[in-house]
Structure formats: C-alpha cells, structure tokens
Structure 1
Amino acid sequence: MAEHKHGEMNIEVQEKTFEGFIKWVTWTAVGCIVLLLFIAMVNG
C-alpha cells in the first residue's frame, strides 16, 4: 500500500465542481428571493 502524503493529490476537478455548485446555489437563492418579492408585489 502506498504512503499517504498530505497535499499531493490533484483536486482541480473537485474545485471546479464545488465552484459550479456554489454558483448554482447562489443563483437559485437569488432567483427564489426575486420570485418571492414579485409575488408579494403582485398580491399587494
């Protein structure tokens, strides 16, 4: 079994996936807030 050395693994793919996930969550949250504000204004 190979020795584990901290910090040697290539994590570029994981970092890009996480970045995409955070962008998606942010835009989804903003969209939900805008939708709720729109609904509140329409219902008066």
Structure 2
Amino acid sequence: MAEHKHGEMDITVQEKTFEGFMNMTTKGTIAIIVFLIFLAAIAA
C-alpha cells in the first residue's frame, strides 16, 4: 500500500468542479430571489 503524503495530490480538477458548483449555486440563488421579488410585485 502506498504511503499517504499530505499535500502532494493534484486537485486542480476538484477545484474547478467546486468553482463551477459555487458559480451555479450563486446564480441560481440570485435567480430565485429575483423571481420571488417579481412574484411579490405582481401580487401587490
């Protein structure tokens, strides 16, 4: 079994995936907030 050495693994793919996830989460949250404001404006 290989020895584990902290900090030697290449994590560029994981970092790009996390960046994409955070980007989509942020955009989705903003879209939902705008949609809720739109619904509130119609109902008023």
**Structure 1 match to 2:36:** 36
Ranges in structure 2 where 5+ consecutive residues have no aligned partner: none
Runs of at least 4 residues of structure 1 off by over 3 A? none
Deviation, structure 1 residue 41: 0.3
State the TM-score, normalizing by the size of structure 1.
0.97
Percent of aligned pairs with the same amino acid: 57
Unpaired runs of 5+ in structure 1? none
Partner of 1:11: 11
What is the alpha-carbon distance in structure 1 between the residues aligned to residue 8 and residue 17 of structure 2? 19
The TM-score, its normalising length taken from structure 2, stands at 0.97
> Structure 1, residues 1-43: CA drift from partner, whole Å, max 9, x if none?
1111000000000000000000000000000000000000011
